[in-house]
Structure 1
Amino acid sequence: MTVARIIVDIPSMQTDKPYSYRVPQALLSLVAVGSRVHVPFGRSNRLLQGFVVELVEEDLPSLKEVAAVLDLEPVLNQEQLDLVNQMRKTVFSYKITLLKAMLPNLLTSDYDRLLRPNQALDPTDRLAIFGQAEQVLWSQLPAEVEGQVVSLVKAGLIDLAYIAKDKKTIKRLKSYKVDAAYLAELVIAPRAKKRLLLREYLLAHPQGLLSDLYQTFSRDQVHYFRELGVLFLEETEVNRSQLYFEGVTKSERLTLNDEQAEVLEQLKDKIGQRSVPVLLQGVTGSGKTEVYLQLIDQVLTLGKTAIVLVPEISLTPQMSRRFIARFGQQVAMLHSSLSDGEKFDEWRRIKTGQARVVVGARSAIFAPLENIGAIIIDEEHESSYKQESNPRYHARDVAVLRANYHQAVLVLGSATPSIESRARASRGVYDRLSLTQRANPAASLPQIELVDFRDYLGQQAVSNFTPRLLEKIQNRLDKGEQVVLMLNRRGYSSFVMCRECGAVDQCPNCDISLTLHMTTRSMNCHYCGFQKGIPQICSNCRSSTIRYYGTGTQKAYDELLQVFPQARILRMDVDTTRKKGAHQAILERFGRQEADILLGTQMIAKGLDFPNVTLVGVLNADTAIHLPDFRSAERTFQLLTQVAGRAGRAAKAGEVIIQTYNPQNYAIQFAKNQDYEGFYAYEMPLRQRLAYPPYYYTVGLSLSHAQEEVVMKQAYEILDLLRQYLSPQAKILGPVPKPIARTHNLYHYQIIVKYRFEAGLETVLNHILALSQSPEQKGLRLSIDSEPQHFL
């Protein structure tokens, strides 16, 4: 008999292995490796979703049977299944979690909930979860809904997004058509002037979009002609991704300079060869993107496909437009700002081979492409490539595995590579190529000036801006040039404090101060979402001497308006970009020079290319430099260098003003001189002395519980296990409370393991993972993070 090995949808150590099920004769032609199925599980035989990872021939008649097949064709290929097994060794998440991470949410719904017989569900929603093949659907639909869905089922493949009829899942375009002959004969009373006008409009426009009618005529007027039978409405399904292609002018390849041409030839030679990652280190504005485009052009010519990763959602629209302009409909996008339906649309285009170039954020590394020729990770140093929630994978590590499988060229591009990547390049683990000059021969690297805040104490009219920076901004406004200003804080004020007793208004659920937001006139917690009104009196001493301290983009925006009331200012941070498409709308306005100043958080620091920007201002370079994290100096250097690179990218010379209280700090000094190699040489001995990457690997274990004594006890038990399994050479830090020790009413402790070679590490971490799920550990949350990017 045919036996299917299936990973079931229960994330636990006990179920982190395939279970065997007999494939019934009726489903033999449908069950395939990579398919989703429903199987009875446990004593109750409740139906669970599962993934078929292997098919074998065995004689095991006592096995339970596969109950249903959810896909006419497999949703995962063999490479992705192999990838899960490889990732499981270093990403301490269960296999089912890794499998589901590779698929759009519409294919990984809560099937157990949907299958409950008493669950109140729209029959079309219930149908949508059962897959795509008619012959399968009829063998599986619950009897109470079978009769209701007859009219919906069509032969062959059923469009999942269409059947779901969910506004978030599908976009419908409503249009109209007119029976012109009937309408021309229709008699309308002379006094019905609106109806006469609508008739004339319809005769002149016998078909079009319904939305156009509603701009001029009321719904009652339109309904009148529908009732008479001269106006007909119809709906058309529209692929949301089609909107991204509208208005994009096709671009032609640019002429490369000698450096770019040499880099491109070396990258081309690596396509189809044994994969060795290539660190492409190029100064800001050196034309790395054009190299990427021409490399992918070669990949497509060879009949292969490509993945391009970018770190920020804000970069995705600008980057994707460049790729669409070059490769048209062959481009698909995958990132978190898309709705579930949009992600499903794009996934389906990739899966069917309609899209051959995938541009997106971290999760796009799992795109179901075949025959990959190139994987490009732009701004490879960015920590956003590491997922901070389960499964905690790093896109760069997954890219290495996929590039090896396909013999694809893997390009890691950055003006400021991560210390780890630069060290691997120095040891020959990575190849290294360089671009040392800006692609535009008329452009030069900007001049950078440090301004010491301490020199202007008592002289500042507004808190965020020194007179020196204000002078430079006024100069650019007078010339009709543009300014980019960065402050790495959103909101209006960092905290609210009582000047009488010193009490700070804190979140009741977290050990952190609340942030003032003037637009909503509220105090917000950026961790748990708690919100309340702005206090008028101190809750501790009842004093009315409440004052606002710190700064934020909203406050900086208000101060700019105060000093430059004539200036057109755009603000770009998390608060102003919540609405879908807001990132792109703000950047397009700035690109059309509809604004003089773009003020934002670090999302404006990377990838933006505006030729009229001649001044960049960093309002405070110190916001991250003293955080308790060994990467603080590196991140400060990278951020300052990246944001400085937004200035002077065309013929006009650029200038950068960096305001700081610590002008002698080495990260700020090296950023001022745009000296990456100097920073790297200075930072490496510090990392070696402190036993941090790239000299040591790290693993972070975080424990959380509502009771502090419980989480402390469990942390020390885990410490004992680590000491038992690991060698004396491993360095174990902690357990200690995390810098922000309580959030969401949970207490957090952490342990950091630093090691070089530890044969027992995987075993003990899996053992700890299993222990955390025992009944005795109820309420305990444990996360294991290999190579954590943050220690806060």
Structure 2
Amino acid sequence: MPKGGSPLHAGLYESALLPLEEESGPSTVYAQVIVDVPAKQTNRPFDYVVPDELKTWIGVGSRVGVPFGPRILQGFVIGLSERTDMEASKLKKIEQVLDLMPPLNPELVQLANWMSRTYVCHEITALQAMIPGALKAKYEKMIAVAEDGGRVRQNRTGAGGGQAVMFAGSAEDDAIVEFVRQKTAVSTEAMLSRFPAAGPLLKRMLEQGTLVEVQTVKDRLQAKKMLYVEPALEAEELLAQSRSLPSNAKRQKELLIYFSENPEPAPLAELSEKLGIGAGTMKGLAEKGWLTIKEREVFRDPYEGRKFDRTSPLPLTEQQRNALDPISEALDKKEHNVFLLHGVTGSGKTEVYLQAIQKCLDQGREAIVLVPEISLTPQMVERFKGRFGDAVAVMHSRLSQGERYDEWRKIGLKRVKVVIGARSAVFAPFADLGLIIIDEEHESSYKQEESPKYHARDVAIQRASRHGAAVVLGSATPSLESFSKTVNRRSDYEDGGGSQYRLLTMADRVEGRPLPAVHIVDLREELKEGNRSMFSRGLYKAIEERLHKKEQTVLLLNRRGYSTFVMCRSCGYVVQCPHCDISLTYHQVSRTMRCHYCGLSQPEPKTCPSCDSEHIRYFGTGTQRVEEELGKLFPGIRVIRMDVDTTSEKGAHERLLTRFRNKQADVLLGTQMVAKGLDFPDVTLVGVIAADTVLHLPDFRAAEKTFQLLTQVAGRAGRHKLPGEVFIQTYTPDHYSIVTASRHDYKAFLDSELEMRRERGYPPYCELALITFSHEQVPLLVRAGESFVARLKDCWQRSRNKAETGLAHSPVQPSYFEVYGPVASPIPRIKDRYRFQCMVKYRVGVDVSGMLTETAAAFDETVRQEKLQISIDVNPQVLM
């Protein structure tokens, strides 16, 4: 076992290990290690010596504990060599190996370097983003014996009045030193557990230097262990021993007979429950040498106890075959290709995914499937487990730490061939990827909003290019950036950079089922007619009809809570978050006002904080209020509400959706998590309470997001035999995003939106980068923002001059680079920190990431000393 490795892993990984080299020989091996320190000056590898005893266990991608100053820190090995540019005698040795098998493979290590350069982040940040939380280091302070051998120092006054140092120690001192020496390092808790009364003595020994405090790296989680029982004898011998037992040893006889017929190891707890035999009986037979009880590692299974009915491939429609054939051809050739599968809702994209994966598995390769919402995962898991069984691993944030840890290890051990999950599943450590599928590729949730601010779509394409793998981007409403990259449509913003996508189209629903009829309801007219309800007359009648027919309804309101703001009608005061420049949202169930940015929660006000008036009113509509109104208008109606508040517990999504599928509810009411991917045969009505919630945000993608959301949620209706109907309630019924969504006309929306983007110079006609500055003091913030912009422009000019000089005898490629700002952010204060931002617009071919890295480096000292925060987002999805 390597130092620091856990014996709990040994049985599992032993067969998977490979030596560093076939004959390591006497030569010194140096490891290049990225250390877990966020400071800018450490954003480079450090050389460490690999001790001879660890050479077998260390590879590229290993997590190691290394000395860094006075501490032991986690690091990742990104390279191994027999040379170093440093003075070899001054290099320190690697102290620990944290895993017997590297959690990352060399391809992922290279990918982290690409992410660091592309998304302007530290390489350690990219590496940490790739592994489950359970593998992120936890640092512990431990007690070790001092290097002088642990002799207790005592200061005594010498003849000349000076201090003479001598070494002595009591029996208790020696016992403590020996205990620590045997363990190498011991926690304070373990020490006091072993020597309960030694607190003062321990403190003295630390002060005298007999013992020292050191920092070490510990895993957050260990493998799960269970006791297993198995026969120690052959079947005939077990039966013979059962006959030799006295007549009153009935339970022991039963157990021996059972194992003579079932020789496979069985969990002790399950066996005890199944046979009604106590653990003492089993241990008694183990003491006789007839049975063996061993501790074994078991995988935590998030779907333990669930049975998935196996399914077979379905006959494909002509459109499905036309989509699958090019993907199959790319898999046969092992060529890297990117396919944009534009299929209307209900066209059967999932079956294409399944059959493409089967083709990939038949070739002995592996596949990743990404879904945007955790709410999609239950149905997708059922389909994929039903088709591929235990070959599927599931990875998303609602699994426990232990479950994610074990799913990750299954991948590394090649126990699974398919991974399905949310954004971070793109980092599944497969060694032979053949296919990556991104369902609902247009979704903004594929972009991570914390560093590293990567987009899973771009990471997937980068990974696939390294494996010669195919990428399938599926959507009924593709993002404009993706659609504009298809070879079928030349976009006039391109200058030769980036991947070209091949467009595959599925324009019809399976079995020719019609798309649902869509009605646009002008809420202004409803008000004129005296209807002040949140439900238009048409939607009210449609819900009533579905209740009578015992059909189901999906209602979308992309706003959680009871009301969007609370205002005093006497003085106009709006209840604001004291730490953020945003109004608080009222949640009726808990009777609290909450900030959805900093998490502040406070009781609802009884009187106005400004004028003491009692005329406090709740404005706007949230999902809680819609749920309450449904109960008033339709007594006895059964409503399932799905939003962040109702789905925070583990397994909540699956429980709620299972109830709806089993027709234990008439209405599924929710935020955007109910708008996509869900497939229920009895849903015949979809109602959009307010189509304008996104449309008027200060975001150039507002129209696109509105069109996508409306089209996706409309697609939940009439997916099977029963026809569907959709009501879209809006105050802007003539907006092109709403009109084209009502017609299911992606092309018409595309033409209108591209014209707007072209006029205003937004993607796909350029690329964007957003730089956000935050600080508690506005003057410093303004100075830092202006200085950053000036340096960035200077960097661009130097880059431009260099390019022109180098291309003096050839035409210079046209380029575009503009910086806007700094200006106050749309939400100018969050968590008591003021925010300014600037935006960079540029064309493909301009190395904006490199210029931003260089510019940000000049502010390292300001960041450290003034606590200025600078956030850089390349190709942002949110501009707020």
TM range (shorter): 0.7 to 0.9
User: Do residues 782 (structure 1) and 807 (structure 2) align?
Assistant: no
**Cα distance, 1:726 vs. partner?**
1.9
SS in 2 for 1:503: coil
Does the CA contact (< 8 Å) of 2:137 and 2:220 recur in 1?
A: no
Which residue number corresponds to residue 5 of structure 1? 32
Conserved 8 A contact 1:473-1:483: yes
- 1:759 to partner: Cα distance: 4.4
Tell me if the contact between 1:333 and 1:360 (Cα under 8 Å) persists in the aligned partners. yes
Q: Which amino acid aligns with 1:438?
A: R
Counterpart secondary structure, 1:314: helix
Gaps in structure 2 of 5+ consecutive residues: 1-27, 145-179, 192-217, 230-244, 252-267, 286-292, 491-498, 801-815
1:580 aligns with 2:650: yes
Q: In 2, distance between residues paired with 1:372 and 1:523? A: 48
Q: Distance in 2 between matches of 1:577 and 1:264?
A: 36
Q: Mapping of 1:105-124 within 5 angstroms?
A: 105-111=133-139, 114-117=140-143
Q: Quote the Cα distance in structure 2 between the aligned partners of 1:240 and 1:631.
A: 41
How far apart, CA to CA, are the structure 1 residues paired with 2:249 and 2:90?
71
Q: Residue 295 and residue 208 in structure 1: after superposition, are their counterparts in 2 closer, same or farther (change >3 A)?
A: closer
Does 2:370 correspond to 1:309? yes
Kindly tell me: are residues 210 and 595 of structure 1, through their superposed partners in 2, closer, same or farther at Cα, counting changes over 3 Å? Answer: farther
Q: Which residue pairs with 2:348 in the alignment?
A: 287
* Amino acid in structure 1 at the alignment position of 2:94: V
The Cα of 1:757 is off from its aligned counterpart by 4.8
Give 1:75 deviation, angstroms. Answer: 1.8
Residue 408 (structure 2) pairs with residue 357 (structure 1): no
Q: What is the deviation of 1:675? A: 0.4
Give, in whole Å, the separation in 2 of the partners of 1:406 and 1:681.
Answer: 36
Aligned position for 1:732: 819
- Cα distance change, pair 351–140 in 1 and its aligned pair in 2 (3 A): farther
Which of the residues 318, 333, 339 maps onto 1:258? Answer: 318
Partner of 1:435: 506
Q: Quote the Cα distance in structure 2 between the aligned partners of 1:180 and 1:245.
A: 38
Residues 465-504 of structure 1 aligned to structure 2 (within 5 Å) = 465-504=535-574
- Could you tell which deviates more after superposition, 617-626 or 74-83? 74-83
SS at match of 2:33: strand
Q: How does 1:391-540 map to 2 (within 5 A)?
A: 391-425=452-486, 426-427=489-490, 429-441=500-512, 443-457=513-527, 463-540=533-610
- Contact kept in structure 1, 2:63 and 2:99, CA below 8 Å: yes
Structure 1 residue 525 displacement after superposition: 0.8
* Residue 434 (structure 1) shift: 0.3
In structure 2, relative to structure 1, the CA distance for the partners of 1:253 and 1:180 (3 Å cut) is farther
Is the Cα contact below 8 Å between 2:98 and 2:219 reproduced in 1?
A: no
Task: Describe the shift of the 1:56–1:467 C-alpha distance in structure 2 as closer, same or farther (beyond 3 A).
Answer: same
**Which moved further from structure 2: 458-467 or 780-789?**
458-467
Report what 1:130 is aligned to: none
CA distance, structure 1, for counterparts of residue 246 and residue 784 of structure 2: 78
Shift of 1:32: 2.1
Per the alignment, in what secondary structure is the counterpart of residue 90 of structure 2? coil
Distance in 1 of aligned mates of 2:849 and 2:737: 36
Give 3-state SS (helix, strand or coil) of 1:88's partner.
Answer: helix
* Contact 1:245–1:329, Cα closer than 8 Å, also in 2: no
Residue in structure 2 matched with residue 58 of structure 1 by the alignment:
83
Kept in 1, the 8 Å contact 2:563–2:618? The answer is yes
- Count of matched residue positions in the alignment of Structure 1 and Structure 2: 726
Residue 299 of structure 2 corresponds to: 239
Deviation of the 1:36 alpha carbon: 1.5
Paired AA for residue 745 in structure 2: D
Provide the residue aligned with 1:652 in structure 2: 722
Tell me if structure 2 keeps the 8 A contact 1:738–1:749: yes
Structure 2 partner of 1:323 = 384
From 50, 73, 80, give the equivalent of 1:23.
Answer: 50
Q: After TM superposition, give the deviation of residue 686 of structure 1 in Å.
A: 1.1
Q: 1:144 Cα deviation (Å)?
A: 6.1
Q: Which residue of 2 aligns with 1:192?
A: none
After TM superposition, give the deviation of residue 703 of structure 1 in Å. Answer: 0.8
Q: How many angstroms does 1:22 deviate by?
A: 1.8
**8 Å Cα contact 1:772/1:781 also seen in 2:** no
Question: In the alignment, does 2:786 pair up with 1:699?
Answer: no
Q: Deviations over 1:702-737 (max 9, x none)?
A: 111111222111111111112211259412111111
Where 2:719 maps in the other structure, the secondary structure is coil
Aligned position for 2:687? 617
Change (3 A) 1:235 1:534: farther
Q: Which residue of 1 aligns with 2:404?
A: 343
Give the match's secondary structure for 1:346. helix
> Which residue identity is paired with 2:552?
Q
Asked if structure 2 preserves the Cα contact closer than 8 Å seen for 1:245 and 1:324, the reply is no
Greater shift, 366-375 or 29-38, is seen at: 29-38
Change in Cα spacing, 1:244 to 1:282, as seen in structure 2 (3 Å) is farther
Distance 1:83 1:138, change over 3 A: farther
Q: Which amino acid aligns with 2:822?
A: P
Q: Secondary structure, in 3 states, of the residue corresponding to 1:664?
A: coil
- The residue that corresponds to 2:850 in the other structure is 763
- Are the equivalent residues in 2 in contact too, given 1:721–1:764 (CA < 8 A)? no
Structure 1 unaligned residues grouped into runs of 5+? 119-136, 149-161, 186-205, 215-221
Q: Deviations over 1:488-537 (max 9, x none)?
A: 01110111100000000111111111111111111111111111111010
1:773 to 860, 864, 875: 860
| Residues 41-65 of structure 1: CA deviation (Å, up to 9, x unaligned) | 23xx321111111111127233222
Q: Which residue number in structure 2 is paired with residue 104 of structure 1?
A: 132
CA contact (8 A) 2:143 2:188 kept: no
Q: SS of 2:337's equivalent?
A: coil
The equivalent of 1:632 in structure 2 is 702
Match among 98, 111, 126 for residue 70 of structure 1 = 98
Contact 2:391 2:417 in 1 (8 A): yes
Alpha carbons of 1:589 and 1:462: their partners in 2 closer, same or farther (altered >3 Å)? farther
Q: Is the 8 A contact 2:774 2:833 kept in 1?
A: yes
> In 1, distance between residues paired with 2:94 and 2:59?
12
**2:409 partner amino acid:** R
- 1:237 to 1:72, Cα distance in 2 relative to 1, 3 A: closer
Greater C-alpha radius of gyration: 2
**Cα deviation 1:176-218 (Å, max 9, x = unaligned):** xxx9986999xxxxxxxxxxxxxxxxxxxx986999999xxxx
Q: 1:164 to 1:490 in 2, by over 3 A?
A: closer
Give the TM-score of the pair, scaled to structure 1.
Answer: 0.86
Matched residue type, 1:142: A
Is the 1:273–1:408 Cα contact (8 Å) retained in structure 2?
yes
- Three-state SS of the structure 2 residue aligned to 1:5 is strand
Which residue in the other structure is 1:142 paired with? 185
> Could you tell me which residue of structure 1 aligns to residue 755 of structure 2?
685
Distance 1:234 1:17, change over 3 A: closer
Is the 2:334–2:434 Cα contact (8 Å) retained in structure 1?
Answer: no
Query: Does structure 2 retain, via aligned residues, the 8 Å contact 1:445–1:654?
Result: yes
Q: Per-residue CA shift, 1:327-361, capped at 9, x if unaligned?
A: 00000011111121111010000110001100000
User: How far is the alpha carbon of 1:30 from its aligned partner?
Assistant: 2.6
Counterpart in the other structure of 1:753? 840
Contact 2:30 2:48 in 1 (8 A): yes
User: Which residue identity is paired with 2:679?
Assistant: D
Q: Distance in 2 between matches of 1:571 and 1:352?
A: 40
**What is the CA–CA distance in structure 2 between the aligned matches of 1:172 and 1:592, rounded to whole Å?**
36
Q: Report whether the alignment pairs 1:94 with 2:181.
A: no
Distance 1:180 1:496 in 2: 80
The answer on whether the counterparts of 2:447 and 2:877 sit within 8 Å (CA) in structure 1 is yes
Moved more, 651-660 or 753-762: 753-762
- Rounded Cα–Cα distance in structure 2 between residues aligned with 1:183 and 1:397: 66
Cα offset, 1:369, TM superposition: 0.8
Describe the superposition over 1:662-693 as per-residue Cα deviations: whole angstroms up to 9, x where unpaired: 00011001101110011111111211111111
Identity of matched residues, %: 47
In the alignment, which residue of structure 2 is the partner of 1:218? Answer: none
**In structure 2, how many angstroms separate the alpha carbons of the residues matched to 1:588 and 1:538?**
43
Shift of residue 773 of structure 1?
Answer: 2.9
C-alpha RMSD of the superposition: 3.3
Contact 2:773–2:836 (CA<8 Å) still a contact in 1?
A: yes
CA distance in 2, matches of 1:141, 1:690: 65
User: Is contact 1:68–1:140 with CA below 8 Å preserved after alignment?
Assistant: no
Amino acid at match of 1:373: G
CA contact 2:135–2:221 (8 Å) conserved in 1: no
